[in-house]
Structure 1
Amino acid sequence: MEGVAGRFPVQTKTETIEINGNSTEVVISKFSDKLFIILTQYGKVGNVVEVRRDVAQKDDSSSAVYSVRVLFGRDDEEIHVAARFLVNFIPTQQNILFALSLKDYQPKTLRQVGEFLKINLSLTEKSA
């Protein structure tokens, strides 16, 4: 294929972390237009959720508004709330696709996952 030099254009990072005593696989793939994050404690993709940043009335990141849409899987409030909560830890303006398959969606669990994402995504933003 002409024009494709050296490395694959999608940056991907994989790691297994411990969240509330559960082994949690994390895969973060940075595409040119989206961020794809897989979070699983079952070894499966689970619910696929798209989070889009909507244009706020004022140019203030603290008042960001997000649209959440379940593309595959269970479409219930718990999944929407989890995606909205996690996006607040992620330093990007890109749309995000989450694949969520966690044993629970309690605030303690989501906070630990969010802190991991915040640290790891801010490090990759600086090195990009």
Structure 2
Amino acid sequence: MNPQPLIKSKQAEKSINGVSTQVVCTEFSNYIFVVLTQYGKIGTLISITPDSKTGDITTPMYTSKVLLGKDEALTHVCAKHLATFISQESGSRPVLLGLALKDGSIESINIMKELIKSCQVW
């Protein structure tokens, strides 16, 4: 019998609009770590956490905070769009997301979301 690894991780690569895109998803006990890159680097590191202050549990709110890199509005929008479903599917765990993107169009982001789903470890 093979023991289960303490840390589960999966990775995938796909060409999106002619740009090679890699994703690595790693599950830790208290959060999910996802790196989505088109540069081969971690890039901007964003923390996305479920907001426990909301009274309506049917529409959870998420807080994003840039930990490393440029703190721009578009970064928060992309991060929340990509990480919200991860948190919801993993039992409202926080997500640590590394983004290094050349193409941030909504069409590409939706394809990247499907790429992340293919590496599901939660």
Please classify the TM superposition score into its range, dividing by the shorter chain length: 0.7 to 0.9
Is contact 1:13–1:29 with CA below 8 Å preserved after alignment? yes
Runs of 4+ in structure 1 off by over 3 angstroms are 5-8
Q: Deviations over 1:53-96 (max 9, x none)?
A: 11231221xx1101000000011011101011112332221100
How many pairs align?
A: 117
Structure 1, unpaired ranges of 5+: none
Q: What is the alpha-carbon distance in structure 2 between the residues aligned to residue 15 and residue 114 of structure 1?
A: 12
Over alpha carbons, which structure has the higher Rg? 1
Q: CA deviation at 1:6?
A: 4.1
Is contact 1:50–1:95 with CA below 8 Å preserved after alignment? yes
Output the aligned Cα RMSD: 1.7
Residue 83 of structure 2 is matched in structure 1 by 87
Of structures 1 and 2, the one with the larger relative CO (CA 8 A, separation 6+) is 2
Between the two proteins, what is the percent identity of the paired residues? 32
Structure 2, unpaired ranges of 5+: none
Q: What is the alpha-carbon distance in structure 2 between the residues aligned to residue 104 and residue 77 of structure 1?
A: 16
Residue 112 of structure 2 is matched in structure 1 by 113
TM-score, normalization by structure 2: 0.87
Q: Deviations over 1:82-127 (max 9, x none)?
A: 0111123322211000000010211111111112223442xx44xx
Residue 67 of structure 2 is matched in structure 1 by 71
- Per mean C-alpha deviation after superposition, the further-off stretch among 111-120 and 18-27 is 111-120
